Amino acid sequence: SLVLPQFRQLKATGKHAFAVLIDPDSVTPDSICSIAQKCEDAGVDYVFMGGSIVVTAHVDHCIQQFKTVSKIPVVLFPGSPAQVSPCADALLYLSLISGRNPDLLIGQHVVSAPAVKMSGLEVISTGYMVIDGGVPTTVSYMSHSAPIPANKPDVALCTAWAGELQGKHLIYMDAGSGAKYPISTEMISRVAGNIDIPLVIGGGIRTPEKVYENGRAGAQIIVVGNAIEKDPSLIREMSLAAKESAIGI
């Protein structure tokens, strides 16, 4: 079944989902099966697949391997058009709306449009916003774009509003992989409480407590990559924390 209606349903019912980010560059065909099994056992809701710089060309293979073990929907979170794979369930069609680099707002989209059309993927138009996480991240370097300052929730909200007004289906606020400081709950609640589309939060989240806080602040989907790569035993508690953060509506 389609992924975006599930995200919208989360927003409508005050429920929250947990997503594990898998960077195809840091897994092997064997290790991906072990991660898939752990995600399956822990009741993970989604797997986001992608990275800022994929040097390997095995995204297809990673997803196929993953799917031999788990039925969890795989959502592409591509760092470049080369990462679009028809094997996934859906594609976050990212436009870097916090940046001012036309290539990442529309240029790469034009180049990849034929491949995206032909892929048959569910395309989820995503307003992607990078928030300053206290360390220069790959995405800010690669995108030639300054992140939104961490202490400017109003700038974040106006950016999210602009994305919503442009017809984006989803807002993804990201402090960047390995961020020193994850996005503040103040900023999350400011944005989540004032938009009508689902909100994804990621970057620098290291504990189940932080996952829970982000859910309480109003994020529909909470994404963790690095911390789980280092310690896969966190998956279960984090997945549970996201579900326990549900807000009765």
Query: Hey, is 50 helix, strand or coil?
Result: coil
Residue from 108, 126, 177, 214 binding ligand 1GP (CB under 6 A): 177
- Integer Cα distance of 177 and 133 in angstroms: 9
- Integer Cα distance of 53 and 33 in angstroms: 22
Total residues at interface with ligand 1GP (CB under 6 A): 14
Q: Does 223 bind ligand 1GP (CB under 6 A)?
A: yes
Query: Hey, is 170 helix, strand or coil?
Result: strand
Which residue's CB is nearer to ligand 1GP, number 118 or number 141?
A: 141
Query: Hey, is 21 helix, strand or coil?
Result: strand
Closest residue to ligand 1GP, judged by C-beta, is 202
| Parallel/antiparallel/unpaired status of strands 122-130 and 170-174 | parallel
Query: Distances from the Cα of 132 to the Cαs of 145, 184, 191, 212, in angstroms?
Result: 11, 10, 16, 21
Q: Per CB under 6 A, which of residues 155..174 are in contact with ligand 1GP? A: 174
Contact of 192 with 222, CB cutoff 8 Å: no
Q: Which is nearest to 160 in space by CA: 112, 201, 123, 121? A: 201
Min separation Cβ 101 and ligand 1GP, Å:
17
Piece of the chain touching ligand 1GP by CB under 6 A; list 91-99, 101-109, 153-161, 176-184: 176-184
Q: Which is nearest to 19 in space by CA: 86, 90, 73? A: 73
Residue from 202, 208, 215, 218 binding ligand 1GP (CB under 6 A): 202
Residue from 76, 197, 205, 222 binding ligand 1GP (CB under 6 A): 205
Which residue's CB is nearer to ligand 1GP, number 63 or number 223?
A: 223
Binding mask 80-119 for ligand 1GP (x = CB under 6 A): ----------------------------------------
Q: Does 242 bind ligand 1GP (CB under 6 A)?
A: no
Q: Does 43 bind ligand 1GP (CB under 6 A)?
A: no
- Cα 79 to chain centroid distance, Å, stands at 11
Contact of 46 with 3, CB cutoff 8 Å: yes
Q: Does 203 bind ligand 1GP (CB under 6 A)?
A: yes
Contact positions toward ligand 1GP, by CB under 6 A? 21, 174, 177-179, 202-205, 223-227
